[in-house]
Amino acid sequence: MLNTRASGVLMHLSSLPSRYAIGVMGDEAKRFIDKIAAMGFSYWQVLPLNPPDFYGSPYTSNAAFAISHMFISPDELVKSGLVSKKDIERSIYYGSPYTADFEFAYNSRLELLKIAFGNINDETKGKIETFKKENPWCEAYSLYCAAKELNGNKPWYEWDKKYAYYENCLKNKKDIEASADFYCFVQYIAFSQWREIKLYANDHGVKILGDMPIYMSMDSVDVWSNRELFDIDYDDFSQKSVAGVPPDYFSADGQLWSNPLYNWKAMEKDGYKWWIARLKASLKLFDTVRIDHFRAFASYWAVPATEKTAKNGEWRKGPAMKLFDKVKDELGDLPIVAEDLGTFGEDVVKLLEDTQFPGMRVIQFGFDPNADSTHLPHNYPKNSIAYVGTHDNTTLLAWLWEASENDRRFALDYCGFKGDNWGEGGFYSPSCRAIIETVWRSPSLISIISFQDLCGFGSDARMNVPGRAFGNWQFRTTEDTINQIDESYFRKINHLFKRK
């Protein structure tokens, strides 16, 4: 249950300005915090910090507990004395400042971190050992990374059997211990840098709203080291069914994610230890955690592994309150936000009521003149988070341009916009501001706006198109753009609608 009226900005770490191909955990992040705090925002929402997949998606990760090494700031490594200014020259990116280049960031940061690892002293080694004891997941993660490197970066289910089975890898870990030590060091640095950013945010009155993907990638340390907790064959690693969602607002074919499904019976037998550890770890990183695709805890869409789309699947029962009762017993009441968007039934409604977790409302979904949508602000419950748009939506200005005339007219009338200049973009778009203010007036205790809508950007700034594999997650901005935001306007509406 939320208890304070406030507002926040959705901006992924990768989208921040930097010299290093994507945003990093350095001074640029602190300056962004300064900016949103000055405007009266109390939350910074980030997408998952886990290592993303090849396409940059943070929702298909190979590690539930780790932070991507790409977010590590080279400048902070210089400050710590682990590398020199000359060492970081190869990490500087000379491409477009408006596009995240994950391949460049991945390779250049790894190269720099290997230099840094060669410069650690005994004091740092001691800190790394302490980090490993406090984060037991790091052993499996570091062995997974080391074994993956040794096996030509193939997925674990194509490795030599000496390493493909976690228990075998533990027996043979002497062969890869030196490499595993490096990956523990990387996580120690990543967590140290993020801790500094979070402390800075909290000290400046800003809470971090983090994001937790519901599923893990098949090629992940979590599946590799806990095969019994996933719905896969223990011996040949095959999957009968995979994760996805049926046809919805975003896709006529549904979304075929192909992640392995959970073996909820096995998880129940061991007291949901993996989930409890995951939630506990996430709440060290964030002040509040949004669980993506929360509805899967009530019931989840299972698609035969042979299917090419997500159309043909079936609903299966999730653990529901059996999981969350256990979580509460172990961890108490938690600051969790349930992403309850998309197709759902009474089982999801009941789970939200039972957990008392706030759900989400997105005004773009509400503009149907023929329906009294739950996404129209007059229907928002107090215990909810109201969004102008999420990372999966197009920008607000783009929605106005792409909507049918009837839907657009309804949206503008609903939000009290009377002019004929609805198509104007940029920081001062009057139609976008009318919609933003309607969200800010809503009963929802927290309202969130994406950075792109903060700026009044068009469709070229969209973060993600669900169901599309390529061309997502690449949006990035500059210091100049951040500095040009109309600070006084957002400070005014945060004050006016009591969200400061």
Non-local CB neighbours of 392 within 8 Å, separated by 6+ positions: 250, 463, 464, 465, 466
Is residue 182 a contact partner of residue 114, using CB atoms and an 8 Å limit?
Answer: yes
Is residue 448 a contact partner of residue 387, using CB atoms and an 8 Å limit?
Answer: yes
Active-site residue, selected from the candidate residues 339, 424, 453, 486: 339
Angle of the 137-150 helix axis to the 122-134 helix axis, nearest 10 = 110
Tell me how far CA of residue 322 lies from CA of 226, 241, 263, 325, in angstroms: 20, 23, 14, 5
- Amino acid identity of residue 292, one-letter, is D
∠ at Cα 183 (47, 69), nearest 5°?
Answer: 30
Is 292 assigned a catalytic role? Answer: yes
Q: State both tokens at 248.
A: 């919805």
Return the DSSP state at 95: S
Please choose, from the candidates 31, 29, 47, the residue with its C-alpha nearest in 3D space to the C-alpha of residue 474. 47
- Amino acid identity of residue 119, one-letter, is N
For 244, list phi and psi in degrees, rounded to 5: 175, -170
Is 346 assigned a catalytic role? Answer: no
Q: State both tokens at 191.
A: 């967590």
- Amino acid identity of residue 415, one-letter, is C
Non-local CB neighbours of 456 within 8 Å, separated by 6+ positions: 396, 397, 425, 426, 427, 428, 429, 432
d(CA 55, CA 473): 8
Q: State both tokens at 371.
A: 């329906």
Largest CA distance in the chain: 71
Active-site residue, selected from the candidate residues 101, 292, 340, 453: 292
Active-site residue, selected from the candidate residues 211, 222, 231, 392: 392
Cα dihedral 320, 321, 325, 327, rounded to 10, equals 20
Q: Cβ–Cβ contacts within 10 Å for residue 399, how many? A: 22
Please choose, from the candidates 451, 445, 388, 446, the residue with its C-alpha nearest in 3D space to the C-alpha of residue 47. 451
- Amino acid identity of residue 81, one-letter, is G
∠ at Cα 316 (54, 347), nearest 5°?
Answer: 105
Is 392 assigned a catalytic role? Answer: yes
Secondary structure class of 300 (helix, strand, coil):
strand
Catalytic residues: 292, 339, 392
